[in-house]
Amino acid sequence: DAEITQSPRHKITETGRQVTLACHQTWNHNNMFWYRQDLGHGLRLIHYSYGVQDTNKGEVSDGYSVSRSNTEDLPLTLESAASSQTSVYFCASSEGPYNEQFFGPGTRLTVL
Amino acid sequence: AQSVTQLGSHVSVSEGALVLLRCNYSSSVPPYLFWYVQYPNQGLQLLLKYTTGATLVKGINGFEAEFKKSETSFHLTKPSAHMSDAAEYFCAVRVGGSQGNLIFGKGTKLSVKP
């Protein structure tokens, strides 16, 4: 069955370190999205991609970057981790503009 | 521009009681609307969606939602709550002109009392 996976599921890092969160989908979807989930804020969009070599900034993109070198993967990089980036991160993918998004299980990141 | 408002960050019902979770939206284009459920320590799962056509939409686990354009609402209901329905529920609207970007409400946590 097609799926979307994230790794690691839990990560503890220190302020200032670079961190990369992986997202891999086997749906063959063109669209991929990264969100962060924080209490009281719901889900907020960080970055998104509509296809290979395409990346776009979302609502809360400062301090984050993504790259899309193939259809299956959209890694999220925190260039210099900050305590404010402690959160749960979700990756999602969708087939097209009128279809639902499928979500990964999430990565819980703690920045000390 | 689109936005979503979920009324009530926390709703508590007794087992067997009606579940009603409220969602109001604003959209400058015909809306595509979604309800997702999130169980503890899991990702979001689609419950149901409205795109076009019938305004009463049935989803998984006995949930349904009605699209009411005049009220700009898309409330989620279930006639009889089960303990297993305890979760957080998110309403979302598609961003017009995008390739499927969604704007999410802040979520409603549903508790079910025995």
B54 C-beta neighbours (distance < 10 Å), count? 9
pLDDT above 90 for A17: yes
Q: Mean pLDDT across the stretch A3-19?
A: 97
- Spatial distance between the Cα atoms of B30 and B47, rounded to a whole number of angstroms: 20
pLDDT in tens, A50-79: 999 999 999 999 999 999 999 999 999 999
What is the distance in angstroms between the Cα of A7 and the nearest Cα belonging to chain B? 13
Of B28, B20, B34, B27, the C-alpha closest to B76 is B20
Residue B98: its pLDDT value, please?
81
pLDDT above 80 for B39: yes
Interface contact B78, partner A, CB < 8 A? no
pLDDT above 80 for B1: no
Give yes or no for a contact between A77 and A65, defined as CB atoms under 8 angstroms apart: yes
pLDDT in tens, A77-86: 999 999 999 9
Interface contact A25, partner B, CB < 8 A? no
Q: Do A41 and B106 touch (CB under 8 A)?
A: yes
Q: For all residues of chain A together, what is the average pLDDT?
A: 95
Q: Mean pLDDT across the stretch B108-113?
A: 97
What is the distance in angstroms between the Cα of B114 and the nearest Cα belonging to chain A? 26
Q: What is the DSSP letter of A37?
A: E
